[in-house]
Structure 1
Amino acid sequence: MATTNHISTKWLGNMAFESNNPSGHSIKIDIAKEDGGDSSGLRPKALMLSSLAGCSGLDVASLIKKMKLDVDEFHIETIANLTDEHPRYYDTVTIEYHFHGKNLEEKKLQRAVDLSIEKYCGVMEMFRRFSELEIKTIFHNK
């Protein structure tokens, strides 16, 4: 059976919106002051990059736990290029997975990243439909 997500997004006035989530939490969305907003919330396109990093990050974190890997810190940097013409969209996206630690098992961590990218992350698959993706895995051995 197909899963359906239903999100309600309410206008708060000026250029701000509040959008709910099946988790029960809400986020505020707004645009920059120079574009007519109040800069009081998250920007819609940038939020897509957070969704991409969050989706893949959850996969990798789950695999780190399952594989019992020793990682002191893990973060993802997502750098995207917006097209010049309207409607503007991300045509290229670089996703950098950064792992910090003393005993990093690089092959296993790379496997976790690869599984997320190739098999598990649905947001990654959505991005593939409109963007060229560049994936980098960077190990910071202490």
Structure 2
Amino acid sequence: MQVKVKWIDGVSFVGESETGHAVVLDGAPENGGRNIGMRPMEMLLIGMGSCTAFDVVTILKKARQPIVDCVAEISAERADTIPKVFTKIHVHFVVTGEGLNESQVERAVKLSAEKYCSASIMLQKACEITHDFAIQAPSFE
């Protein structure tokens, strides 16, 4: 896998993937940024969250669970001193579907955390990562 990160100006960059997608990253204004893109550490959490959510959705679909939505809400704590690495990450899944089997959702979250999600398994080597989930019925508003 290869990516390219190109400096725009100040502390703004464009990241490009080998698959042809691009994203703008920027620093906080107090660090010389213009607030035109995500912070790099936000991007890291989003990457991990999307990786684990991908697994959960895929595992539940393979188990023929009636999933209609999955949201990974991620909170993280960082060290107070530089380098301000993540010290704790918590992933809360909100899985939506009528008649979802709780043990299947629990299994999907556990399999992602322990076997499939490359991003979270890699980050677990550096900080504590916890997971939980809630199941909700679809709303028909």
Q: Does the TM-score normalized on the shorter chain lie above 0.5?
A: yes
The alignment-based identity, stated in percent, is 27
Which of 72, 86, 91 does residue 76 from structure 1 map onto? 72
1:123 maps onto 2:119 in alignment: yes
1:18 maps onto 2:18 in alignment: no
Q: How does 1:47-62 map to 2 (within 5 A)?
A: 47-62=43-58
Question: What TM-score does the superposition give when structure 1 sets the normalisation length?
Answer: 0.91
> What code does the residue aligned with 1:136 have?
D
Question: What TM-score does the superposition give when structure 2 sets the normalisation length?
Answer: 0.92
Q: How far apart, CA to CA, are the structure 2 residues paired with 1:112 and 1:22?
A: 29
Q: How far apart, CA to CA, are the structure 1 residues paired with 2:20 and 2:60?
A: 27
> What code does the residue aligned with 2:86 have?
Y
Give ranges in structure 1 of 5+ residues lacking alignment.
none
The runs of 4+ residues in structure 1 deviating greater than 6 Å are: none
**Contact 2:61–2:67 (CA under 8 A) maintained in structure 1:** no
CA RMSD of the aligned region, Å?
1.2
Q: How many matched pairs?
A: 138
Q: How far apart, CA to CA, are the structure 1 residues paired with 2:68 and 2:118?
A: 27
Q: CA deviation at 1:8?
A: 1.1
